[in-house]
Amino acid sequence: MKTVEAIHNQGGRVTPARRAVISAIVEASGHVSAEEIFSVVHGQSPDIHLSTVYRTLDALEKLGVVEHVHLGHGRAVYHLEDNVHQHLVCDDCGAVLEAPKDLSKQLEQELENRLGFHIRAHHFSILGICKNCYHKKR
Amino acid sequence: MKTVEAIHNQGGRVTPARRAVISAIVEASGHVSAEEIFSVVHGQSPDIHLSTVYRTLDALEKLGVVEHVHLGHGRAVYHLEDNVHQHLVCDDCGAVLEAPKDLSKQLEQELENRLGFHIRAHHFSILGICKNCYHKKR
DNA sequence: ATCTTTGCAAACTTTTTGCACCAAT
DNA sequence: ATTGGTGCAAAAAGTTTGCAAAGAT
């Protein structure tokens, strides 16, 4: 487990709470809020507190294991850093799609050339209306 | 004043508070948080409450006069709907740039063709590192 | 033994809401 | 006179923090 090593290397400690949070994120394999993570973790280990989840997420973020993003309005969601991509978020149904890599690359290039602006791909989010919602009239 | 008419047409009332909020946004001519709007408004009319600002912003949003966006992490910011554009937000210094229109258009087209995803330009925000921050080493 | 992490409770920030009063139409 | 808007205070939602006890190394 790479994550566990990363924690060790930084002088961090591998605790049950941290294991639980990590596996909750891995199992979710998507975009999950702190509370969603908490409810999974808390379901199995009721002694683990919400604030511990937040602190663990913070720690994992510092280690570069997870990343949090604010998709659209509302709370932050976390996802694994190995799954870096750009998010398309439906403003109607909340669906989260991933933008095609080449499209992202292209945009990234152009913004860099023209404005010297360096996209953080993992922090990129576009709101709009997804195919489904668009077709059920709006 | 178009906005005032819009309010009337919906059976809404044009109150001092609403006038104050509207002109605060117009004068700010950028991206302002509810609190920034409040502090301007409150500076001139100390009797106007923060909750009134929020309610007014809500009302104006329903009328399509303003729009709020969550740029990056942190609180919502409001801007006039006539100034629709895509935001580039610097993750370091918080600077907000506007993306070139043609670039946006291109991306918009492609996402539509490929995924059937319809960008809401005004709700679009890209995080990254701006030119300045990028060059002062990172 | 050391020093990080946790549980807990409480604070904080941003936004929303209930209610009685007030004011725009 | 209506009915929508406002002030106020209090709640809600999401996140952070201080502190003493517990646990990983």
More confident residue, B92 or A35: A35
Tell me which residues have their CB below 7 A from strand C. A 7, 11-13, 15, 17-18, 45, 47-49, 51-52, 55-56, 59; B 8, 13-16, 33-35, 50-51, 54-55, 58, 74-76
Name the average pLDDT for chain A.
82
- Judgement on whether residues B52 and B75 belong to the same structural domain of the protein: yes
- Judgement on whether residues A78 and A94 belong to the same structural domain of the protein: no
Q: Answer yes or no: do A130 and B114 touch at CB < 8 A.
A: no
Residue A122, H or E segment: strand A118-129
Place B91 in a pLDDT band, splitting at 50, 70 and 90.
low
pLDDT digits (tens, 9 = 90+) for A17-38: 999 999 999 888 678 899 999 9
Q: On chain C, which bases lie within 7 A of the protein's CB atoms? A: 4-10, 13-18, 23-25
Q: Beta strands A118-129 and A87-90: pairing type?
A: parallel
- Judgement on whether residues B14 and B76 belong to the same structural domain of the protein: yes
End position of a domain, from candidates B54, B83, B112: B83
pTM: 0.74
- Judgement on whether residues A22 and A74 belong to the same structural domain of the protein: yes
- Judgement on whether residues A74 and A93 belong to the same structural domain of the protein: no
pLDDT above 70 (res B69): yes
Place A138 in a pLDDT band, splitting at 50, 70 and 90.
very low
Q: What's the confidence (pLDDT) of residue A94?
A: 60
pLDDT above 70 (res B27): yes
Q: What's the confidence (pLDDT) of residue A15?
A: 95
Place B54 in a pLDDT band, splitting at 50, 70 and 90.
very high
How far: A71 CA to D15 C1' (Å)? Answer: 17
**Sheet bearing A96-98, strands edge to edge:** A96-98, A87-90, A118-129, B118-129, B87-90, B96-98
User: Which nt sits closest to A53, CA to C1'?
Assistant: C6
User: Lowest mean pLDDT: which of A59-63, B58-62, B94-98, B103-107?
Assistant: B94-98
| Chain B interface includes A127 (CB < 8 A) | yes
How far: B75 CA to C12 C1' (Å)? Answer: 14
- Judgement on whether residues B73 and B7 belong to the same structural domain of the protein: yes
In CATH, what number is assigned to the domain containing residue A62?
A: 1.10.10.10
pLDDT above 50 (res A137): no
- Judgement on whether residues A18 and A55 belong to the same structural domain of the protein: yes
Name the average pLDDT for chain B.
82
- Judgement on whether residues A74 and A14 belong to the same structural domain of the protein: yes
Q: What's the confidence (pLDDT) of residue B76?
A: 85
The answer to whether B126 and B99 are in contact (CB under 8 A) is: yes
Domain count, chain B: 2
End position of a domain, from candidates A83, A99, A127: A83
- How far apart CA A34 and CA A78 sit, in angstroms, is 7
Q: Tokens 């400690």 appear where?
A: A13
Report percent pLDDT > 70 for chain B: 82
- Judgement on whether residues B52 and B15 belong to the same structural domain of the protein: yes
Place A39 in a pLDDT band, splitting at 50, 70 and 90.
very high
- How far apart CA B10 and CA B4 sit, in angstroms, is 10
End position of a domain, from candidates B66, B83, B100: B83
Chain A's closest residue to B109, CA to CA, is A103
Alpha-carbon distances of A76 from A21, A69, B42, rounded to whole Å: 16, 6, 31
Q: Chain-centre distance of CA A69, in angstroms? A: 6
In the chain, the amino acid numbered A1 is M
Q: Which residues pair with B78 in a beta bridge?
A: B32, B68
3-state SS assignment for residue B32: strand
- Judgement on whether residues B58 and B97 belong to the same structural domain of the protein: no
3-state SS assignment for residue A28: helix
The answer to whether A87 and A127 are in contact (CB under 8 A) is: no
Q: What's the confidence (pLDDT) of residue A122?
A: 57
- Judgement on whether residues A16 and A58 belong to the same structural domain of the protein: yes
**Structural domain boundaries enclosing A14:** 2-83
pLDDT above 80 (res B135): no
pLDDT above 70 (res B117): yes
Place B13 in a pLDDT band, splitting at 50, 70 and 90.
very high
Instruction: Output the DSSP codes for A18-50.
Output: HHHHHHHHHHH-S-EEHHHHHHHHHHH-TT--H
- Judgement on whether residues B43 and B6 belong to the same structural domain of the protein: yes
Place B137 in a pLDDT band, splitting at 50, 70 and 90.
very low
